[in-house]
Amino acid sequence: MMSNQVTCEQTKEQVIFILNNYWNRNYTGFTFPLPNYPYLERKNLDTIKNGDYVFTKKKVNHKRAVFMLYKNHKDKNKQFLIFRDNTIIETNLKIENSYYRGSIFDVMYDESGKICIYDTFMAGGYRVNYCDYKERHDYAETVSKNSNELSFCKIYNDINEIKNVSENEELYFINNIKYLVSGQDSSSFRWRPSELINIGLKVKENEKNLDLYTTNFKLDKLFASITDENVIKIKSLQNYTDGCIVNFNIRKVEFNFTNVETEQKYPTSIKQIENIILIKHENITFLELSG
């Protein structure tokens, strides 16, 4: 697959305008529209057990994106990947012409250029977001089968069909009867070993120290200040800049600095940090889920 990052601001604005027009006509400007799923808590286990859920896995080091296809004003087929950080890549995959009437997919993209479809908002000019998940997945499977350059995620009807989840994967519990929406979706969940769940904090340089900020209603709130050798560790991370978001992992009493977050615009909120601490305390294991 050949691809090119879009650098022309006018083109980017046009792509975002078309995405907004398809997805939700009530807002303008860039807002990443795909749903967010909270981490699984122990109180959610009965909900999954008694509900209509399917299961899938995602690579945590792959980037999530909107994959959109349409015809421009010159009736030319166009396809774009739109990422959370407002990066836009134009691609040229071989896809059946009917999908250019207007299609939007929830995908994962890896550095080799492979695209895997996980969900469907719109296909061939028809909004299918109010269909159940299995039907939306059928659309993903159909467009993928018509293209040698796309794939679709594997879904499992029973969690016991899943033999393991690697450290580089998250397990998703998708509510089959719930439609696809923007923002927080508390009816579906994701899981990974609690010791691997990170907290992202914004780093601001303060003389020789580093101040770490969480967020509350998108307003920065001071969380902690870092001194001494930890400043050197953070500044040595790849892609570090003043004001970046750094992922931290709490294991027992240790605070580990894992990497600079390049996709997220905002640090982990206070409420999310509280939930993550609870999840780490509950420590739900894969053996419990599949047993």
Say which residue the tokens 């998708």 belong to: 174
Q: Are 86 and 29 in contact, with CB atoms under 8 Å apart?
A: no
pLDDT in tens, 167-196: 999 999 999 999 998 888 999 999 999 999
Q: Copy the structure tokens of residue 231.
A: 């400043």
- Segment 202-226 shows an average pLDDT of 92
Q: Residue 40: which of 276, 290, 246 has the closest Cα?
A: 276
From residue 63, alpha-carbon distances to 81, 114, 160, 170, 271 in Å are 10, 11, 27, 13, 24
Looking at the predicted structure, is the pLDDT value of residue 41 above 90? Answer: yes
* H or E element, residue 14: helix 9-23
Mean pLDDT (the chain) is: 91
- Domains defined along the chain, listed by start: 3-188 (3.30.470.30), 194-290 (2.40.50.140)
pLDDT in tens, 226-277: 888 889 999 999 999 999 999 988 776 567 888 998 888 789 999 999 999 9
> What pLDDT score was predicted for residue 31?
83
> What is the value of pTM for the model shown?
0.90
- Segment 215-226 shows an average pLDDT of 90
Q: Are 170 and 153 in contact, with CB atoms under 8 Å apart?
A: no
Q: Are 247 and 276 in contact, with CB atoms under 8 Å apart?
A: no
